[in-house]
Structure 1
Protein backbone atom coordinates (compact mmCIF):
# COMPACT_ATOMS: atom_id res chain seq x y z
CA UNK A 1 0.00 0.00 0.00
CA UNK A 2 1.45 3.36 -1.06
CA UNK A 3 1.75 6.27 1.37
CA UNK A 4 -1.14 8.23 -0.15
CA UNK A 5 -3.32 5.09 -0.09
CA UNK A 6 -2.52 4.59 3.60
CA UNK A 7 -3.51 8.17 4.38
CA UNK A 8 -6.77 7.83 2.44
CA UNK A 9 -7.59 4.53 4.14
CA UNK A 10 -6.90 5.77 7.67
CA UNK A 11 -8.70 9.03 6.92
CA UNK A 12 -11.82 7.22 5.74
CA UNK A 13 -11.75 4.92 8.78
CA UNK A 14 -11.45 7.92 11.11
CA UNK A 15 -14.38 9.70 9.44
CA UNK A 16 -16.54 6.56 9.61
CA UNK A 17 -15.80 6.07 13.30
CA UNK A 18 -16.77 9.68 14.01
CA UNK A 19 -20.02 9.24 12.08
CA UNK A 20 -20.82 5.93 13.78
CA UNK A 21 -20.25 7.52 17.19
CA UNK A 22 -23.55 9.35 16.60
CA UNK A 23 -25.37 6.85 14.37
CA UNK A 24 -24.46 3.34 15.59
CA UNK A 25 -27.74 2.70 17.37
CA UNK A 26 -29.91 4.27 14.68
CA UNK A 27 -28.26 2.21 11.93
CA UNK A 28 -28.73 -1.05 13.82
CA UNK A 29 -32.38 -0.25 14.59
CA UNK A 30 -32.98 0.48 10.91
CA UNK A 31 -31.36 -2.62 9.36
CA UNK A 32 -31.70 -5.32 12.05
CA UNK A 33 -33.16 -8.49 10.55
CA UNK A 34 -32.08 -11.76 12.21
CA UNK A 35 -34.01 -13.72 9.56
CA UNK A 36 -31.99 -12.28 6.68
CA UNK A 37 -30.74 -14.96 4.28
CA UNK A 38 -27.93 -12.66 3.22
CA UNK A 39 -26.92 -12.07 6.81
CA UNK A 40 -27.06 -15.77 7.65
CA UNK A 41 -24.96 -16.76 4.63
CA UNK A 42 -22.09 -14.50 5.62
CA UNK A 43 -22.50 -15.45 9.27
CA UNK A 44 -21.78 -19.03 8.18
CA UNK A 45 -19.15 -18.49 5.48
CA UNK A 46 -17.78 -14.99 6.08
CA UNK A 47 -14.75 -16.19 8.06
CA UNK A 48 -14.02 -19.27 5.94
CA UNK A 49 -11.62 -17.65 3.40
CA UNK A 50 -9.40 -16.42 6.23
CA UNK A 51 -9.27 -19.87 7.81
CA UNK A 52 -8.49 -21.51 4.47
CA UNK A 53 -5.69 -19.00 3.90
CA UNK A 54 -4.21 -20.11 7.24
CA UNK A 55 -4.44 -23.77 6.15
CA UNK A 56 -2.84 -23.00 2.79
CA UNK A 57 -0.09 -20.98 4.48
CA UNK A 58 0.82 -23.78 6.88
CA UNK A 59 0.90 -26.31 4.04
CA UNK A 60 3.20 -23.96 2.12
CA UNK A 61 5.56 -23.70 5.09
CA UNK A 62 5.86 -27.49 5.01
CA UNK A 63 6.36 -27.88 1.25
CA UNK A 64 8.83 -25.00 0.92
CA UNK A 65 10.90 -25.77 4.01
CA UNK A 66 14.67 -26.01 3.45
CA UNK A 67 17.05 -26.27 6.38
CA UNK A 68 20.74 -26.98 6.86
CA UNK A 69 20.20 -28.90 10.10
CA UNK A 70 18.26 -32.18 10.06
CA UNK A 71 16.80 -31.89 13.57
CA UNK A 72 15.53 -28.42 12.73
CA UNK A 73 13.79 -29.74 9.61
CA UNK A 74 12.12 -32.52 11.60
CA UNK A 75 11.08 -30.27 14.50
CA UNK A 76 9.62 -27.51 12.34
CA UNK A 77 7.75 -29.93 10.10
CA UNK A 78 6.21 -31.56 13.17
CA UNK A 79 5.15 -28.15 14.51
CA UNK A 80 3.75 -27.00 11.15
CA UNK A 81 2.06 -30.38 10.66
CA UNK A 82 0.28 -30.20 14.02
CA UNK A 83 -0.78 -26.61 13.32
CA UNK A 84 -2.01 -27.63 9.87
CA UNK A 85 -4.28 -30.25 11.46
CA UNK A 86 -5.56 -27.76 14.06
CA UNK A 87 -6.30 -25.01 11.54
CA UNK A 88 -7.86 -27.48 9.08
CA UNK A 89 -10.30 -28.53 11.80
CA UNK A 90 -10.90 -24.86 12.62
CA UNK A 91 -11.77 -24.17 8.98
CA UNK A 92 -14.12 -27.16 8.96
CA UNK A 93 -15.79 -26.28 12.26
CA UNK A 94 -16.29 -22.53 11.75
CA UNK A 95 -19.34 -22.83 9.44
CA UNK A 96 -20.81 -25.66 11.51
CA UNK A 97 -21.16 -23.41 14.54
CA UNK A 98 -23.92 -21.62 12.64
CA UNK A 99 -25.41 -24.67 10.88
CA UNK A 100 -26.94 -26.54 13.76
CA UNK A 101 -23.86 -27.67 15.62
CA UNK A 102 -20.56 -29.45 15.06
CA UNK A 103 -20.66 -32.93 13.46
CA UNK A 104 -17.33 -34.61 14.22
CA UNK A 105 -17.27 -37.08 11.27
CA UNK A 106 -18.05 -34.34 8.74
CA UNK A 107 -15.52 -31.98 10.34
CA UNK A 108 -12.87 -34.69 10.16
CA UNK A 109 -13.49 -35.38 6.49
CA UNK A 110 -13.52 -31.68 5.59
CA UNK A 111 -10.34 -31.05 7.59
CA UNK A 112 -8.57 -33.89 5.79
CA UNK A 113 -9.70 -32.58 2.39
CA UNK A 114 -8.52 -29.05 3.22
CA UNK A 115 -5.11 -30.23 4.46
CA UNK A 116 -4.43 -32.66 1.60
CA UNK A 117 -5.59 -30.19 -1.05
CA UNK A 118 -3.41 -27.44 0.43
CA UNK A 119 -0.34 -29.68 0.54
CA UNK A 120 -0.91 -30.82 -3.04
CA UNK A 121 -1.41 -27.30 -4.43
CA UNK A 122 1.53 -25.79 -2.54
CA UNK A 123 3.78 -28.66 -3.62
CA UNK A 124 3.05 -27.83 -7.26
CA UNK A 125 3.50 -24.09 -6.76
CA UNK A 126 6.71 -24.50 -4.77
CA UNK A 127 8.51 -26.00 -7.79
CA UNK A 128 8.69 -22.60 -9.48
CA UNK A 129 8.07 -19.90 -6.87
CA UNK A 130 9.30 -21.42 -3.63
CA UNK A 131 10.72 -18.25 -2.05
CA UNK A 132 7.77 -16.03 -2.91
CA UNK A 133 5.30 -18.72 -1.80
CA UNK A 134 7.05 -19.14 1.55
CA UNK A 135 7.10 -15.39 2.11
CA UNK A 136 3.36 -15.16 1.39
CA UNK A 137 2.74 -18.16 3.67
CA UNK A 138 4.47 -16.50 6.61
CA UNK A 139 2.41 -13.35 6.05
CA UNK A 140 -0.79 -15.39 5.77
CA UNK A 141 -0.48 -17.35 8.98
CA UNK A 142 0.78 -14.39 11.02
CA UNK A 143 -2.08 -12.18 9.80
CA UNK A 144 -4.72 -14.79 10.68
CA UNK A 145 -3.27 -15.43 14.13
CA UNK A 146 -2.93 -11.69 14.79
CA UNK A 147 -6.59 -11.16 13.85
CA UNK A 148 -7.79 -13.84 16.26
CA UNK A 149 -5.53 -12.90 19.18
CA UNK A 150 -5.82 -9.10 19.01
CA UNK A 151 -9.57 -9.05 18.41
CA UNK A 152 -10.41 -11.46 21.22
CA UNK A 153 -8.22 -9.67 23.75
CA UNK A 154 -9.93 -6.36 22.97
CA UNK A 155 -13.38 -8.01 23.10
CA UNK A 156 -12.80 -9.29 26.63
CA UNK A 157 -11.67 -5.91 27.92
CA UNK A 158 -14.28 -3.81 26.08
CA UNK A 159 -17.44 -5.59 27.22
CA UNK A 160 -19.81 -3.96 24.74
CA UNK A 161 -23.29 -5.51 24.57
CA UNK A 162 -24.48 -6.72 21.16
CA UNK A 163 -27.52 -5.02 19.64
CA UNK A 164 -29.42 -8.31 19.36
CA UNK A 165 -29.33 -8.64 23.17
CA UNK A 166 -30.81 -5.20 23.80
CA UNK A 167 -34.41 -4.22 24.35
CA UNK A 168 -36.08 -0.84 23.90
CA UNK A 169 -35.36 1.81 25.07
CA UNK A 170 -31.78 0.49 24.60
CA UNK A 171 -30.43 1.90 27.85
CA UNK A 172 -27.54 -0.58 27.73
CA UNK A 173 -26.15 0.91 24.52
CA UNK A 174 -22.61 2.24 24.89
CA UNK A 175 -20.40 4.31 22.60
CA UNK A 176 -17.70 2.30 20.81
CA UNK A 177 -14.73 4.13 22.36
CA UNK A 178 -15.82 3.63 25.99
CA UNK A 179 -14.78 0.24 27.48
CA UNK A 180 -17.47 -1.34 29.67
CA UNK A 181 -15.24 -3.69 31.65
CA UNK A 182 -13.80 -7.21 31.56
CA UNK A 183 -16.13 -9.98 30.39
CA UNK A 184 -16.20 -13.60 29.23
CA UNK A 185 -19.85 -13.45 28.16
CA UNK A 186 -20.06 -13.70 24.36
CA UNK A 187 -23.06 -11.36 24.22
CA UNK A 188 -20.87 -8.62 25.70
CA UNK A 189 -18.18 -9.03 23.04
CA UNK A 190 -19.60 -6.80 20.34
CA UNK A 191 -16.51 -4.59 19.93
CA UNK A 192 -14.66 -5.20 17.67
CA UNK A 193 -16.16 -7.65 15.17
CA UNK A 194 -14.39 -10.99 14.92
CA UNK A 195 -16.16 -11.94 11.69
CA UNK A 196 -15.07 -8.69 10.07
CA UNK A 197 -11.50 -9.13 11.27
CA UNK A 198 -11.26 -12.73 10.08
CA UNK A 199 -12.89 -11.89 6.75
CA UNK A 200 -10.34 -9.11 6.20
CA UNK A 201 -7.56 -11.72 6.18
CA UNK A 202 -8.71 -12.20 2.58
CA UNK A 203 -6.51 -9.19 1.76
CA UNK A 204 -3.83 -11.88 1.52
CA UNK A 205 -5.11 -12.78 -1.97
CA UNK A 206 -3.37 -9.62 -3.22
CA UNK A 207 -0.13 -11.57 -2.72
CA UNK A 208 -1.17 -14.31 -5.15
CA UNK A 209 0.58 -12.65 -8.14
CA UNK A 210 3.92 -13.01 -6.31
CA UNK A 211 3.83 -16.79 -6.77
CA UNK A 212 1.12 -17.41 -9.40
CA UNK A 213 2.49 -16.00 -12.64
CA UNK A 214 -0.88 -16.06 -14.44
CA UNK A 215 -2.21 -13.51 -11.94
CA UNK A 216 0.54 -10.94 -12.37
CA UNK A 217 -0.90 -7.58 -13.32
CA UNK A 218 -4.21 -8.48 -11.64
CA UNK A 219 -3.40 -6.90 -8.27
CA UNK A 220 -6.10 -4.21 -8.55
CA UNK A 221 -8.73 -6.79 -9.45
CA UNK A 222 -7.77 -8.88 -6.44
CA UNK A 223 -8.02 -5.82 -4.18
CA UNK A 224 -11.54 -5.17 -5.46
CA UNK A 225 -12.54 -8.80 -4.84
CA UNK A 226 -11.07 -8.75 -1.33
CA UNK A 227 -12.62 -5.37 -0.51
CA UNK A 228 -16.04 -6.48 -1.75
CA UNK A 229 -15.99 -9.64 0.37
CA UNK A 230 -14.95 -7.70 3.47
CA UNK A 231 -17.66 -5.07 2.97
CA UNK A 232 -20.37 -7.72 2.47
CA UNK A 233 -19.37 -9.51 5.67
CA UNK A 234 -19.29 -6.22 7.60
CA UNK A 235 -22.78 -5.25 6.45
CA UNK A 236 -24.13 -8.72 7.23
CA UNK A 237 -22.96 -8.55 10.84
CA UNK A 238 -24.86 -5.31 11.43
CA UNK A 239 -27.97 -6.76 9.80
CA UNK A 240 -27.81 -9.79 12.09
CA UNK A 241 -27.53 -7.56 15.16
CA UNK A 242 -24.25 -9.19 16.16
CA UNK A 243 -22.33 -5.92 15.84
CA UNK A 244 -22.69 -2.19 15.40
CA UNK A 245 -21.25 -0.33 12.42
CA UNK A 246 -18.29 0.89 14.49
CA UNK A 247 -17.56 -2.70 15.59
CA UNK A 248 -17.23 -4.02 12.05
CA UNK A 249 -15.22 -0.99 10.95
CA UNK A 250 -12.68 -1.47 13.71
CA UNK A 251 -12.55 -5.24 13.26
CA UNK A 252 -11.73 -5.04 9.56
CA UNK A 253 -9.31 -2.16 10.11
CA UNK A 254 -7.28 -4.09 12.68
CA UNK A 255 -6.77 -7.01 10.28
CA UNK A 256 -6.01 -4.84 7.26
CA UNK A 257 -3.45 -2.79 9.20
CA UNK A 258 -1.97 -5.99 10.64
CA UNK A 259 -1.70 -7.47 7.15
CA UNK A 260 0.27 -4.51 5.80
CA UNK A 261 2.51 -4.20 8.86
CA UNK A 262 3.28 -7.93 8.84
CA UNK A 263 3.87 -7.87 5.08
CA UNK A 264 6.33 -5.01 5.45
CA UNK A 265 8.15 -6.76 8.31
CA UNK A 266 8.35 -10.13 6.53
CA UNK A 267 9.58 -8.63 3.26
CA UNK A 268 12.18 -6.61 5.14
CA UNK A 269 13.45 -9.69 6.95
CA UNK A 270 13.19 -12.16 4.08
CA UNK A 271 16.73 -13.36 4.53
CA UNK A 272 15.86 -14.48 8.06
CA UNK A 273 12.72 -16.43 7.23
CA UNK A 274 13.03 -17.91 3.75
CA UNK A 275 15.82 -20.46 4.09
CA UNK A 276 19.34 -20.99 5.28
CA UNK A 277 21.77 -19.53 2.72
CA UNK A 278 24.79 -21.64 3.52
CA UNK A 279 25.67 -25.23 4.17
CA UNK A 280 23.88 -28.39 3.26
CA UNK A 281 20.17 -27.89 2.67
CA UNK A 282 17.61 -30.43 3.84
CA UNK A 283 14.14 -30.17 2.32
CA UNK A 284 11.26 -30.20 4.79
Structure 2
Protein backbone atom coordinates (compact mmCIF):
# COMPACT_ATOMS: atom_id res chain seq x y z
CA UNK A 1 0.00 0.00 0.00
CA UNK A 2 2.96 2.31 0.57
CA UNK A 3 4.64 1.81 -2.79
CA UNK A 4 2.15 3.84 -4.80
CA UNK A 5 2.55 7.15 -2.87
CA UNK A 6 6.34 6.75 -2.98
CA UNK A 7 6.19 6.27 -6.75
CA UNK A 8 4.11 9.43 -7.09
CA UNK A 9 6.56 11.40 -4.95
CA UNK A 10 9.49 10.30 -7.08
CA UNK A 11 7.50 11.06 -10.21
CA UNK A 12 6.78 14.59 -9.02
CA UNK A 13 10.44 15.14 -8.12
CA UNK A 14 11.61 13.96 -11.55
CA UNK A 15 8.96 16.09 -13.25
CA UNK A 16 10.03 19.19 -11.33
CA UNK A 17 13.69 18.57 -12.14
CA UNK A 18 12.86 17.99 -15.79
CA UNK A 19 10.82 21.16 -16.08
CA UNK A 20 13.62 23.12 -14.39
CA UNK A 21 16.03 21.63 -16.90
CA UNK A 22 13.67 22.55 -19.71
CA UNK A 23 13.52 26.15 -18.54
CA UNK A 24 17.30 26.30 -18.70
CA UNK A 25 18.16 24.12 -21.71
CA UNK A 26 15.08 23.52 -23.89
CA UNK A 27 16.49 25.27 -26.92
CA UNK A 28 20.08 24.03 -26.51
CA UNK A 29 18.90 20.41 -26.09
CA UNK A 30 16.92 20.51 -29.32
CA UNK A 31 19.89 21.90 -31.21
CA UNK A 32 22.03 19.08 -29.80
CA UNK A 33 19.84 16.09 -30.70
CA UNK A 34 17.91 17.32 -33.75
CA UNK A 35 17.89 14.43 -36.25
CA UNK A 36 14.71 14.56 -38.36
CA UNK A 37 15.83 11.76 -40.70
CA UNK A 38 16.28 9.18 -37.92
CA UNK A 39 13.83 6.47 -38.97
CA UNK A 40 12.76 5.25 -35.49
CA UNK A 41 11.77 8.84 -34.66
CA UNK A 42 9.83 9.09 -37.92
CA UNK A 43 8.15 5.75 -37.13
CA UNK A 44 7.05 7.05 -33.75
CA UNK A 45 5.66 10.19 -35.35
CA UNK A 46 3.64 8.17 -37.86
CA UNK A 47 2.50 5.27 -35.67
CA UNK A 48 3.39 6.01 -32.06
CA UNK A 49 0.13 7.78 -31.29
CA UNK A 50 -1.92 4.64 -32.08
CA UNK A 51 -2.30 3.50 -28.43
CA UNK A 52 -4.66 6.41 -27.78
CA UNK A 53 -7.04 5.37 -30.58
CA UNK A 54 -6.79 1.58 -30.89
CA UNK A 55 -8.84 0.98 -27.71
CA UNK A 56 -11.73 2.86 -29.32
CA UNK A 57 -11.62 0.47 -32.29
CA UNK A 58 -11.68 -2.54 -29.94
CA UNK A 59 -14.49 -1.04 -27.87
CA UNK A 60 -16.59 -0.42 -30.98
CA UNK A 61 -15.97 -3.94 -32.24
CA UNK A 62 -17.18 -5.44 -28.93
CA UNK A 63 -20.16 -3.15 -28.46
CA UNK A 64 -23.87 -3.54 -29.16
CA UNK A 65 -26.05 -6.31 -30.52
CA UNK A 66 -27.84 -6.86 -33.80
CA UNK A 67 -27.92 -3.85 -36.11
CA UNK A 68 -26.09 -1.70 -33.56
CA UNK A 69 -23.21 -4.16 -33.53
CA UNK A 70 -23.02 -4.09 -37.32
CA UNK A 71 -22.83 -0.29 -37.30
CA UNK A 72 -20.28 -0.26 -34.46
CA UNK A 73 -18.04 -2.72 -36.29
CA UNK A 74 -18.33 -0.72 -39.49
CA UNK A 75 -17.25 2.37 -37.53
CA UNK A 76 -14.30 0.39 -36.16
CA UNK A 77 -13.19 -0.55 -39.68
CA UNK A 78 -13.57 3.04 -40.88
CA UNK A 79 -11.47 4.22 -37.95
CA UNK A 80 -8.76 1.68 -38.76
CA UNK A 81 -8.73 2.82 -42.39
CA UNK A 82 -8.43 6.44 -41.28
CA UNK A 83 -5.43 5.65 -39.07
CA UNK A 84 -3.80 3.78 -41.95
CA UNK A 85 -4.36 6.69 -44.36
CA UNK A 86 -3.03 9.30 -41.92
CA UNK A 87 0.10 7.22 -41.31
CA UNK A 88 0.77 6.81 -45.03
CA UNK A 89 0.34 10.55 -45.54
CA UNK A 90 2.74 11.34 -42.70
CA UNK A 91 5.33 8.91 -44.03
CA UNK A 92 5.15 10.58 -47.44
CA UNK A 93 5.56 14.02 -45.86
CA UNK A 94 8.75 12.75 -44.20
CA UNK A 95 10.10 11.52 -47.53
CA UNK A 96 9.71 7.81 -46.85
CA UNK A 97 9.37 5.84 -50.08
CA UNK A 98 6.74 3.10 -50.27
CA UNK A 99 4.92 4.47 -47.25
CA UNK A 100 2.01 2.13 -47.97
CA UNK A 101 4.28 -0.87 -47.46
CA UNK A 102 5.60 0.50 -44.16
CA UNK A 103 2.07 1.10 -42.91
CA UNK A 104 0.93 -2.29 -44.19
CA UNK A 105 3.68 -4.01 -42.19
CA UNK A 106 2.45 -2.33 -39.00
CA UNK A 107 -1.15 -3.23 -39.71
CA UNK A 108 -0.30 -6.85 -40.47
CA UNK A 109 1.05 -7.09 -36.93
CA UNK A 110 -2.04 -5.36 -35.55
CA UNK A 111 -4.28 -7.70 -37.54
CA UNK A 112 -2.43 -10.71 -36.14
CA UNK A 113 -2.99 -9.36 -32.63
CA UNK A 114 -6.67 -8.77 -33.43
CA UNK A 115 -7.08 -12.35 -34.66
CA UNK A 116 -5.39 -13.67 -31.53
CA UNK A 117 -7.70 -11.55 -29.39
CA UNK A 118 -10.78 -12.75 -31.28
CA UNK A 119 -9.72 -16.37 -30.82
CA UNK A 120 -9.09 -15.82 -27.10
CA UNK A 121 -12.49 -14.18 -26.63
CA UNK A 122 -14.23 -16.98 -28.51
CA UNK A 123 -12.67 -19.55 -26.17
CA UNK A 124 -13.28 -17.57 -22.97
CA UNK A 125 -16.91 -16.58 -23.41
CA UNK A 126 -18.78 -13.42 -22.44
CA UNK A 127 -17.02 -12.81 -19.11
CA UNK A 128 -13.69 -11.87 -20.70
CA UNK A 129 -15.44 -9.83 -23.38
CA UNK A 130 -17.23 -7.84 -20.70
CA UNK A 131 -14.04 -7.13 -18.81
CA UNK A 132 -12.21 -6.09 -21.97
CA UNK A 133 -15.09 -3.90 -23.12
CA UNK A 134 -15.14 -2.15 -19.73
CA UNK A 135 -11.41 -1.39 -19.85
CA UNK A 136 -11.56 -0.22 -23.45
CA UNK A 137 -14.61 1.93 -22.72
CA UNK A 138 -12.69 3.79 -20.04
CA UNK A 139 -9.74 4.07 -22.43
CA UNK A 140 -12.13 5.88 -24.80
CA UNK A 141 -12.99 8.30 -21.98
CA UNK A 142 -9.24 8.81 -21.49
CA UNK A 143 -8.89 9.53 -25.22
CA UNK A 144 -11.59 12.20 -25.07
CA UNK A 145 -10.02 13.82 -22.00
CA UNK A 146 -6.66 13.86 -23.80
CA UNK A 147 -7.99 15.62 -26.87
CA UNK A 148 -9.86 18.24 -24.84
CA UNK A 149 -7.21 19.07 -22.24
CA UNK A 150 -4.14 18.97 -24.48
CA UNK A 151 -5.69 21.10 -27.20
CA UNK A 152 -6.97 23.68 -24.73
CA UNK A 153 -3.46 23.97 -23.29
CA UNK A 154 -2.01 24.35 -26.80
CA UNK A 155 -4.36 27.25 -27.47
CA UNK A 156 -3.42 28.95 -24.20
CA UNK A 157 0.36 28.50 -24.49
CA UNK A 158 0.61 29.18 -28.23
CA UNK A 159 4.28 28.19 -28.17
CA UNK A 160 6.37 28.22 -31.35
CA UNK A 161 7.85 24.93 -32.53
CA UNK A 162 11.60 24.37 -32.83
CA UNK A 163 11.59 23.09 -36.42
CA UNK A 164 9.45 25.99 -37.63
CA UNK A 165 11.86 28.51 -36.12
CA UNK A 166 14.80 26.54 -37.49
CA UNK A 167 13.33 26.73 -41.00
CA UNK A 168 13.38 30.53 -40.82
CA UNK A 169 16.76 30.68 -39.11
CA UNK A 170 15.29 32.98 -36.47
CA UNK A 171 14.62 31.94 -32.87
CA UNK A 172 13.26 35.25 -31.62
CA UNK A 173 9.82 33.64 -31.27
CA UNK A 174 11.11 31.16 -28.69
CA UNK A 175 9.39 31.30 -25.31
CA UNK A 176 10.00 29.25 -22.19
CA UNK A 177 7.38 26.81 -20.95
CA UNK A 178 6.35 29.09 -18.07
CA UNK A 179 5.30 31.82 -20.53
CA UNK A 180 1.75 31.22 -21.84
CA UNK A 181 0.22 33.26 -24.68
CA UNK A 182 3.33 32.88 -26.82
CA UNK A 183 4.25 33.97 -30.32
CA UNK A 184 2.17 31.51 -32.33
CA UNK A 185 2.39 27.74 -32.50
CA UNK A 186 1.21 24.50 -30.92
CA UNK A 187 4.36 23.13 -29.34
CA UNK A 188 3.26 23.07 -25.67
CA UNK A 189 2.30 20.46 -24.59
CA UNK A 190 3.25 17.61 -26.91
CA UNK A 191 0.19 16.01 -28.49
CA UNK A 192 2.13 12.95 -29.65
CA UNK A 193 3.56 12.34 -26.18
CA UNK A 194 0.08 12.68 -24.71
CA UNK A 195 -1.25 10.22 -27.29
CA UNK A 196 1.55 7.79 -26.46
CA UNK A 197 0.16 7.82 -22.92
CA UNK A 198 -2.78 5.94 -24.41
CA UNK A 199 -0.56 2.92 -23.71
CA UNK A 200 -1.82 3.25 -20.13
CA UNK A 201 -4.88 1.37 -21.36
CA UNK A 202 -2.74 -1.63 -20.39
CA UNK A 203 -2.96 -0.43 -16.78
CA UNK A 204 -6.73 -0.36 -17.11
CA UNK A 205 -6.54 -3.97 -18.26
CA UNK A 206 -4.64 -4.75 -15.06
CA UNK A 207 -7.63 -3.40 -13.15
CA UNK A 208 -10.08 -5.82 -14.77
CA UNK A 209 -7.94 -8.89 -15.52
CA UNK A 210 -6.55 -10.72 -12.45
CA UNK A 211 -3.81 -12.40 -14.50
CA UNK A 212 -2.59 -9.00 -15.69
CA UNK A 213 -2.85 -7.48 -12.23
CA UNK A 214 -0.12 -9.81 -11.00
CA UNK A 215 2.20 -8.23 -13.58
CA UNK A 216 1.24 -4.64 -12.87
CA UNK A 217 4.81 -3.45 -12.13
CA UNK A 218 6.08 -4.83 -15.45
CA UNK A 219 3.14 -3.24 -17.28
CA UNK A 220 3.89 0.16 -15.73
CA UNK A 221 7.55 -0.18 -16.76
CA UNK A 222 6.63 -1.02 -20.37
CA UNK A 223 4.21 1.90 -20.51
CA UNK A 224 6.71 4.46 -19.24
CA UNK A 225 9.44 3.18 -21.57
CA UNK A 226 7.08 3.66 -24.49
CA UNK A 227 6.14 7.19 -23.42
CA UNK A 228 9.82 8.06 -22.92
CA UNK A 229 10.62 6.74 -26.40
CA UNK A 230 7.96 8.97 -27.89
CA UNK A 231 9.20 11.98 -25.92
CA UNK A 232 12.78 11.55 -27.17
CA UNK A 233 11.57 11.07 -30.74
CA UNK A 234 9.65 14.36 -30.63
CA UNK A 235 12.81 16.22 -29.65
CA UNK A 236 14.76 14.50 -32.42
CA UNK A 237 12.12 15.47 -34.97
CA UNK A 238 12.29 19.07 -33.76
CA UNK A 239 8.56 19.20 -33.15
CA UNK A 240 8.74 19.69 -29.39
CA UNK A 241 10.95 20.72 -26.50
CA UNK A 242 11.74 18.67 -23.40
CA UNK A 243 9.27 20.66 -21.31
CA UNK A 244 6.52 20.06 -23.90
CA UNK A 245 6.86 16.31 -23.55
CA UNK A 246 7.15 16.33 -19.76
CA UNK A 247 4.08 18.54 -19.43
CA UNK A 248 2.08 16.21 -21.68
CA UNK A 249 3.08 13.14 -19.65
CA UNK A 250 2.26 14.98 -16.41
CA UNK A 251 -1.18 16.06 -17.59
CA UNK A 252 -2.00 12.57 -18.82
CA UNK A 253 -0.81 11.05 -15.54
CA UNK A 254 -3.14 13.37 -13.63
CA UNK A 255 -6.02 12.48 -15.94
CA UNK A 256 -5.32 8.77 -15.48
CA UNK A 257 -5.20 9.17 -11.71
CA UNK A 258 -8.45 11.12 -11.71
CA UNK A 259 -10.16 8.58 -13.96
CA UNK A 260 -9.06 5.52 -11.97
CA UNK A 261 -10.01 7.04 -8.61
CA UNK A 262 -13.41 8.32 -9.77
CA UNK A 263 -16.54 6.77 -8.28
CA UNK A 264 -17.87 5.87 -11.72
CA UNK A 265 -14.71 3.93 -12.56
CA UNK A 266 -14.61 2.14 -9.22
CA UNK A 267 -18.29 1.22 -9.52
CA UNK A 268 -17.66 -0.25 -12.96
CA UNK A 269 -15.01 -2.52 -11.45
CA UNK A 270 -17.07 -3.67 -8.49
CA UNK A 271 -19.41 -5.66 -10.68
CA UNK A 272 -16.50 -8.02 -11.42
CA UNK A 273 -15.74 -8.62 -7.73
CA UNK A 274 -17.91 -11.73 -7.48
CA UNK A 275 -16.13 -13.25 -10.48
CA UNK A 276 -12.61 -13.05 -9.01
Q: Which range, TM-score by smaller chain?
A: 0.7 to 0.9
For residues 15-50 of structure 1, the C-alpha deviation after alignment (integer angstroms, 9 at most, x for no partner) is: 211221111011111111112122212112211222
- SS of the equivalent of 2:92 reads coil
Give the structure 2 partner of residue 268 of structure 1.
Answer: 266
Alpha-carbon spacing, 1:75–1:262, altered in 2? closer, same or farther (3 Å):
farther
For residues 110-130 of structure 1, the C-alpha deviation after alignment (integer angstroms, 9 at most, x for no partner) is: 69969x759836853552334
Greater share of helix: 2
Whole-angstrom CA distance in 2 between matches of 1:29 and 1:47? 24
Q: How far does residue 132 in structure 1 lie from its aligned partner after superposition?
A: 3.0
Give the structure 2 partner of residue 143 of structure 1.
Answer: 142
Whole-angstrom CA distance in 1 between matches of 2:162 and 2:69? 44
Aligned 8 A contact 1:34 1:241 in 2: yes
Give yes or no for the alignment of 1:88 onto 2:80: yes
Whole-angstrom CA distance in 1 between matches of 2:265 and 2:120? 20
> Please, what is the CA RMSD of the aligned residues?
3.4
Whole-angstrom CA distance in 2 between matches of 1:121 and 1:264? 32
Whole-angstrom CA distance in 2 between matches of 1:205 and 1:74? 29
Alpha-carbon spacing, 1:75–1:155, altered in 2? closer, same or farther (3 Å):
farther
Give yes or no for the alignment of 1:171 onto 2:168: no
Give the structure 2 partner of residue 49 of structure 1.
Answer: 51
Q: How many residues align?
A: 256
- SS of the equivalent of 1:38 reads helix
Aligned 8 A contact 1:192 1:250 in 2: yes
Give the structure 2 partner of residue 219 of structure 1.
Answer: 216
Give the structure 2 partner of residue 19 of structure 1.
Answer: 21
Aligned 8 A contact 1:203 1:256 in 2: no
Alpha-carbon spacing, 1:237–1:33, altered in 2? closer, same or farther (3 Å):
same
Moved more, 146-155 or 223-232: 146-155
Aligned 8 A contact 1:204 1:259 in 2: no
1:195 pairs with one of 187, 192, 195: 192
Aligned 8 A contact 2:190 2:245 in 1: yes
- 1:1-284 to 2 correspondences below 5 Å: 2-60=4-62, 62=63, 80-81=72-73, 84-85=76-77, 87-100=79-92, 120=118, 123-124=121-122, 127-167=126-166, 168=169, 170-180=171-181, 188-212=185-209, 214-265=211-262, 266-270=264-268
TM-score (norm 1): 0.75
Aligned 8 A contact 1:48 1:94 in 2: no
Alpha-carbon spacing, 1:151–1:223, altered in 2? closer, same or farther (3 Å):
same
Whole-angstrom CA distance in 2 between matches of 1:176 and 1:201? 23
TM-score (norm 2): 0.77
Aligned 8 A contact 2:156 2:180 in 1: yes
Whole-angstrom CA distance in 1 between matches of 2:66 and 2:31? 55
Alpha-carbon spacing, 1:40–1:97, altered in 2? closer, same or farther (3 Å):
same
